[in-house]
Structure 1
Amino acid sequence: MTDAVASAQHLFAEQYGRRPAGVWSAPGRVNLIGEHTDYNDGFVFPFAIDRRTTVALGDRDDRVVRVSSTFSPETIEVHLDALTPDAVSGWAAYPLGVVWALGESGADLAHVRGVDLHIDSDVPVGAGLSSSAAIECAVALALDEHWGLGFDRPTLAKIGRLAENRVVGAPTGIMDQSASLLGEADAAVFLDCRSLDTDVIPLGFTEAGLSLLVIDTRVSHAHATGGYAARRASCEAGAAALGAESLREVRVDDLDRARDLLDDETFRRVRHVVTENQRVLDTVRTLREQGPGAIGPLLDASHVSMRDDFEISVPELDLAVETAQANGAIGARMTGGGFGGAAIALVIDDLVPVIARKVVEAFAEHGFREPGVFTVHAAEGARRDA
């Protein structure tokens, strides 16, 4: 039994006065490349990380679902017959939104018994590592197995997205849930967000002596706030003006025409998505043909595009990227939705402590809050642990 499982069982017993029936977990994710392409029917290339959210579950003899967690003093409960998108808010919208989304997706919840859930996590919140999807996917897998619903993992990913879109109110795509449910060790999930076809691609970081360094700026972001939604609306407006169903249909060769048709801001939003899609394809090809040591320029170019064209970076993210690059990183970029969160840097193992120290020093010199700096490894997706 792992420490995380033992802790989950103990915390559940402390909260509810009995042992849980089972324990499930799901990881956060890092998006190696492919930002804001998912809701534009494009390509993304995330991987599950070795930071996980754990859900301990126990049966009830009524139809109430209760949720508690180590990151909130509240215990929230709702009757299954009264669960609607408007019935919950705050952190509980993530797990309870999944319960609602299961019913909306064809699960017959009319005869299931309620459950108690206790959630624990070591995925940093607000860092762009998808702590929200980790909750959604752990809860979705737990309830699917416990209630015998029979959904496959791609469908559970859609259920997590539905919960986040309709109950939480964040207009996100399906990338995060796909990575959390489909991830494998030392591999990333190449996802076509239009067809939802996936291909698990070996990364080869371990064999190449490389680590992925995460620099959590501790500048919190929230997808449900205006900046993310405004970018999505801009992308949709750009696609419509170009006569495209989505920006997936727009190619790099089309950008000269787009410049003539669109205002400057919309054009730059479109240019980011179109070139980022190409960078994802180029990253997968480069990994296969040359190995991970050759993908650095693509990571660097992605950051420039997000900083200048999509305008979702912040000074802390730019400083993290620039400091990593100046001290020997193979490549670096911000990751996640933007407006805060984390940057990532692909680093030779021996340089990890050097770059970590330099980043912390640079933040201190600029008067920024001390960042969290740690390595992550590509890890297995959601699973039952006990």
Structure 2
Amino acid sequence: MAAEQPIPLYTNLTELYGNLGTSLNHALRWNDLAEEFQKRFGRKPAYIARAPGRVNLIGEHIDYALFGVLPAAIERDILIACGPRVVPTSVPTPEPHHTPGSVIAENLQTKYPRQIFVPARRLSTAQEIGEDRVHAEEWHLDINTKELRWESYVKAGYYGVLNHYFAPSDLATTQSDKLPIPVDLLVTGTVPAGSGLSSSAAMVVASTLAFLAVNGKLDAQSGEITSSAVARLTKGELVKMAMENEKRVGVNSGGMDQAASVISNASSALYITFYPTLKATPVPLPAGSVFVCANSLVVSDKAVGAKRQYNLRVVETLVGARALARILGVPVGEKERITLREVVGRLLGEAKGEELDVAHLMKGLERMGREVEALRPKTHGEGDEELGVTMEEMIEISGLPEDLFQEVYLSWVEVEATHFQLYKRAKHVYAEALRVLQFRQACLDAAKHSVDGNTTLETLGQLMNESQTSCAELFECSCPELNDLTQLARQAGAFGSRLTGAGWGGCTVSLVAEDRVESFIEQIRDTYAPYQGLEGEALNEVIFATRPSSGACVYKFD
């Protein structure tokens, strides 16, 4: 299993670069970062930690319904050069950065100012062990979740390392190997922020790895335990830690972003499932396929639009699942928030804790495509409202009394709508979940059999186009600019093009033949109004080609 493999720790640059893809000059970036670290801190770094961004190829807004998705790591990434800081043995007035675990964090982008922070131990007198000793309750780092700053993601990564590897019982001692090491960091990145390519998850993963590396927690080989290192951390363990860490900045993640950044292999997408547990398996992509990411330059603020967008969709899919289960006679607990994935599983006799095989799940999803029609409102009228229901109608459909409905579905989230589109959302989720499995199967068939390359790419492209139509018309998470970009991409020769990420702005991803990439980007530049006039690096910031990249890793300097 890919999740059980250890985090790659390289000491050979040739091997490292060979696993990162070819469209970026990795050697130049890594060398420049190391040289700049030496200029700023007076010594070369001990490590460089890398974590890539990700693009979701297909499977939008179905992860929180517990259906599998198909992202891939991209070649653009976050790099953090890091090293232990030498602290003077005696100084007249110790500075904050002289204390154990202190961090000096700098960023190559000048808009991000230098930061110095020190993890604090919350201490309380423990009389049972004597007044001269204290017991550390937990570590604390100040993170303002209302005003996210770049260093907040660095701190979030540090939290996990402190809490997992520097236990309170170790902190009553002054032994240096029991305390975190003072660290210098220099960060750079090529993942566009706020574009739906998971720059935040990449930052948290890279930060977590940097602090693990500097503190000697990645050096031991599997099964080997030393006083300063533990058995090599697995990729699955890092995913779980990064998910916990990112919650420190107020992001409740389902795990797709972190799994794609950590577990991915070069040339492969990653099929990630969430039920009954999080699992990830590589899916080889056809030779000659290149994905082009294009930023619509529309920023979707989840916090501002949540009541009418993301949070509303979550509630609609959950209530739709209960209503459909009730219609089909699927048992649901009174206060249970059953998901659309669990509805199909229970309908097909899937035991708790077990997982349907892919063939049975595909047949089940085909059936659900028909069964979901039972959610279509019987009333007739004009406009989209004919497919939606009012709050009163939704409560009636759920079969719950109003007070219990409010407790189960609305007490934990704020939504705003006059009509709730249970039918349209459920129809999208089941169809999209099936498209993910069809996309996966087409890739596997191409890898096993002598299937014509263009035929496979056309199949994948058609699935991507169907996904975009469903996102726009059924899930209504697109926007005019995304619709425009995907249409222009098809006219420019893409096999398929769709939004990627939550939507309502952000990026599109287009499947393009390898020999058409350059002309494709030029045509999009000339036809998408916000790109006109952009050249060189300015153009490269908003539209770029990428192949699937390998996941997170660490390079150790001699």
Would the TM-score normalized by the shorter structure come out above 0.5? yes
Whether contact under 8 Å (1:170, 1:224) holds in the other structure is no
- Please point out which of 165, 170, 195 is paired with 1:107: 165
- SS state at 2:48 partner: strand
Whether contact under 8 Å (2:47, 2:81) holds in the other structure is yes
The structure-2 alpha-carbon separation of the partners of 1:273 and 1:65, relative to structure 1 and needing over 3 Å to count, comes to farther
Aligned counterparts of 1:321 and 1:276: Cα–Cα separation in 2? 18
- Please point out which of 513, 531, 538 is paired with 1:348: 513
Match of residue 51 from structure 2:
26
Aligned counterparts of 1:10 and 1:220: Cα–Cα separation in 2? 35
Match of residue 116 from structure 2:
77
2:145 maps to 1:120: no
- Please point out which of 196, 200, 205 is paired with 2:278: 196
2:339 maps to 1:246: yes
Aligned counterparts of 2:162 and 2:374: Cα–Cα separation in 1? 45
Q: Percent identity?
A: 29
Aligned counterparts of 2:302 and 2:244: Cα–Cα separation in 1? 14
Match of residue 442 from structure 2:
286
One-letter identity of the residue aligned with 2:114: T
Aligned counterparts of 1:167 and 1:348: Cα–Cα separation in 2? 41
**Aligned ranges 1:290-329 → 2 under 5 Å:** 290=446, 291-329=456-494
Specify every segment of 5 or more residues in structure 1 that has no aligned partner in the other structure, as ranges. Answer: none
Match of residue 93 from structure 1:
152
Deviation at 1:331, TM superposition (A): 1.0
Deviation at 1:103, TM superposition (A): 4.3
Match of residue 65 from structure 1:
103
Deviation at 1:298, TM superposition (A): 0.9
Match of residue 51 from structure 1:
76
- SS state at 2:197 partner: coil
Whether contact under 8 Å (1:5, 1:385) holds in the other structure is no
Aligned counterparts of 2:140 and 2:35: Cα–Cα separation in 1? 31
One-letter identity of the residue aligned with 1:162: E
Deviation at 1:127, TM superposition (A): 1.9
Whether contact under 8 Å (1:316, 1:368) holds in the other structure is no
Per-residue deviation, residues 105-126 of structure 1 (Å, max 9, x unmatched): x333542223222210111222
One-letter identity of the residue aligned with 2:209: L
Per-residue deviation, residues 246-299 of structure 1 (Å, max 9, x unmatched): 232244414123445476423323332222211111111122225444211110
Q: TM-score, normalised by structure 1?
A: 0.89
Per-residue deviation, residues 55-95 of structure 1 (Å, max 9, x unmatched): 11121342213322223432233322255475344222212
Aligned counterparts of 1:368 and 1:154: Cα–Cα separation in 2? 44
One-letter identity of the residue aligned with 1:107: Y
Per-residue deviation, residues 316-356 of structure 1 (Å, max 9, x unmatched): 21111011122332111011121221111112233323332
Q: Between Structure 1 and Structure 2, whose CA radius of gyration is higher?
A: 2
Answer with 342-351 or 46-55: which moved more. Answer: 342-351
One-letter identity of the residue aligned with 1:288: L
Deviation at 1:201, TM superposition (A): 1.2
Q: TM-score, normalised by structure 2?
A: 0.63
Per-residue deviation, residues 202-233 of structure 1 (Å, max 9, x unmatched): 102xx3x3321211222233455524344334
Deviation at 1:366, TM superposition (A): 10
Answer with 367-376 or 290-299: which moved more. Answer: 367-376
Match of residue 553 from structure 2:
383
Aligned counterparts of 1:228 and 1:15: Cα–Cα separation in 2? 42
Aligned counterparts of 1:37 and 1:368: Cα–Cα separation in 2? 37
- Please point out which of 189, 202, 218 is paired with 1:134: 202
Whether contact under 8 Å (1:86, 1:167) holds in the other structure is no
Aligned counterparts of 2:504 and 2:159: Cα–Cα separation in 1? 29
Aligned counterparts of 1:13 and 1:228: Cα–Cα separation in 2? 44
Match of residue 290 from structure 2:
211
Aligned counterparts of 1:14 and 1:258: Cα–Cα separation in 2? 64
Deviation at 1:367, TM superposition (A): 8.8
User: Which has more strand, going by share of residues?
Assistant: 1
Aligned counterparts of 2:196 and 2:523: Cα–Cα separation in 1? 22
Deviation at 1:365, TM superposition (A): 8.5
Match of residue 243 from structure 2:
161
One-letter identity of the residue aligned with 1:200: P
The structure-2 alpha-carbon separation of the partners of 1:55 and 1:257, relative to structure 1 and needing over 3 Å to count, comes to same
**Cα RMSD over matched residues?**
2.7
Answer with 221-230 or 338-347: which moved more. Answer: 221-230
Deviation at 1:185, TM superposition (A): 1.2
Aligned counterparts of 2:433 and 2:186: Cα–Cα separation in 1? 38
Deviation at 1:200, TM superposition (A): 0.7
